[in-house]
Amino acid sequence: MFTRRVFLRGGLAAIALGLSQRGKACGPPRPRTSPLDTTIPHPGCLDTGALPGDASAPLVAIPDAPRSVVIDGLPFEPWFTGDDFVEALDVPFHMHTVGEPQRPQEQARVVVIGGGLSGLASAYLLREHQPITLEMYRRFGGVSRGEAWRDLPYSLGGAYFITPDRGTFLSHFYRRLGLHRVRREAPPGDLFESHGAILDDWWECNACTDDERAAFERYAAAVRHFADEKYPDIPLPEEDFDWIMELDQRTLWEDIEQRIGMPLPRRLAEPIQAYCYSSFNAGAQDISAAAGWNFIAAEEYGRWVLPGGNAYMTNELWRRLGRLDRDIRPECRPHHLRSGCIVTDVRLDAGGVLVTYMDQRRNMHTIAAERVIVAAPKFVAKRFIHNLEALDAEKWNAIHQVFTYGYLVVNVLLNQPVERDFYEIWMLGDSDFPLGSPETDEQRPVTDLVNGSFATRETGGRHVLTFYYPLPFATSRFTLLIGEPHADYAARIAPHVRRLLARLGIPDSAVQQVRMSRWGHAMPLASPRVLADGLAEKLRRPIADRIFFVNQDNWALPAVETCLLEAETMTGRVEELL
């Protein structure tokens, strides 16, 4: 298995961090959840209950002039994109089993549960076995969805991934999808917004004290060490990983201070915290040193950015998997890619697995599968895997020790181009960036601004800017649901949008619309000791060689590479058993 470090290129792009990633107003009433689909299956077709295939793409077009509501002087889309919540769920993301499964209506060699990047990649790697992929939402793609405004694509979530080394699995995978033909490599240096200016010399440490300069130099040496000499592979390598386990027992903050030999000065701590909040949805004091250095050192080897961000990749996977329906009569499609299908029960059965799901007409369907890949988050999977606590008590307990936090991604559609060519601006503000764990509304940081049009060659005189707003506290999911979350978060984001537009010389009048995407379970928290305590091994191991797990929370590491490398590993095991 190729680990994250194996496919990285040699050489540092910079001596330092090289960071990259990624008032209430009256409006229309909150829209209800999507109405139930009333499509009647064609006579003679298997009634899968799936929603129409064309509407399930990860990357979709929006109207040229979308309807808006004005909040704090800016035109906002009237409601969130991203996560939607189906009426049939008693609590968002927590579907309970609905009775005993009925007699199966169909058979499949493989069923994939979850249509995000992990699920689509798993289905693609097993495409010769005609897998059926079930997605609860209307659109595939998970947090790697996107939109296109007047032919200008942009991401609603993930924006980039690490440049692969030639000859590796990931390099072949990306090239097979044609990603190398459309990607643009992000430059090694990023910009910082601080004290009313956009700076490109942060890491030169001008006007630093002697102690600050020493901290910067020692930190740069630590980055070089992990990038060039001892990279902490996650997924773990097959041998020589005891030192990674030891690293995993400390927080990143503790490890950095140990390596620089002094308390982190604010000038160095702020960009590290901004990176950690944006990349991990948690601060350096909350994440494992192994996970933190895994990310920071990897950034030194380059980043690929696609038109529409990572939605381009999921859309290409979705498009190619759609070819599996070529032998299905047109009136009976979609068959292999089924959206709007909520899995309610997965249980071992004689010689296989029974998968039961509910469509949006609330009809129940059961598939008899030889093997199942669960590509949903574990805290969702524990709700539908029948008798999981008895099947694997250690897995059950491990699931309850991994946590996920909410996230907001904000896209600003502009009717004029942005003259400055950049990939990312880190928003440090006026020395008020939180260095501890944000727990109150006032401490929630907007971390960074990404050029959403970075990889698009022709923008037609328009532009999209993408803000990342992590919610690094335990109850964040519910702040996206309760009360008037849209008006609340719009009022919070508007001043940040206006401030950065002014820094870039763009008037508010150029804003066509601000669109907010909420993600209730965006990232698993890369806590210390997930590796050292054996939680990852328990989270990812199959059940009875019938039910396999592919997700970034297998290793509590929120990376594209985690999804794809786990897909490669687990589908390889499934392939051997089919």
Residue-wise pLDDT tens digits, 277-309: 999 999 999 999 999 999 999 998 899 999 999
Query: 133: left (phi > 0), else alpha (psi -120 to 50), else beta?
Result: beta
Q: What is the pLDDT of residue 199?
A: 94
DSSP 386: T
What is the distance of C-alpha 21 from the center of its chain?
11
Which region among 37-51, 130-144, 147-161 has the lowest average model confidence (pLDDT)? 37-51
pLDDT in tens, 384-398: 999 999 999 999 999
pLDDT of residue 437: 78
Q: Is 167 left (phi over 0), alpha (psi -120 to 50) or beta?
A: left
416-433 pLDDT, tens digit per residue, is: 999 999 999 999 998 888
Of the CA atoms within 13 Å of residue 428, those in its CB half-sphere come to: 23
**What is the pTM assigned to this prediction?**
0.91
Quick one: pLDDT at residue 441? Answer: 58
E-strand stretches of 137-207: 146-149, 152-155, 161-162, 184-185, 191-194, 197-199
CB 99 within 8 A of CB 362: no
pLDDT in tens, 48-104: 999 998 899 999 999 999 999 999 999 999 999 999 875 544 455 555 556 788 899
The CA distance from 363 to 85, in Å, is 18
For 452, phi then psi, to 5°, come to -65, -15
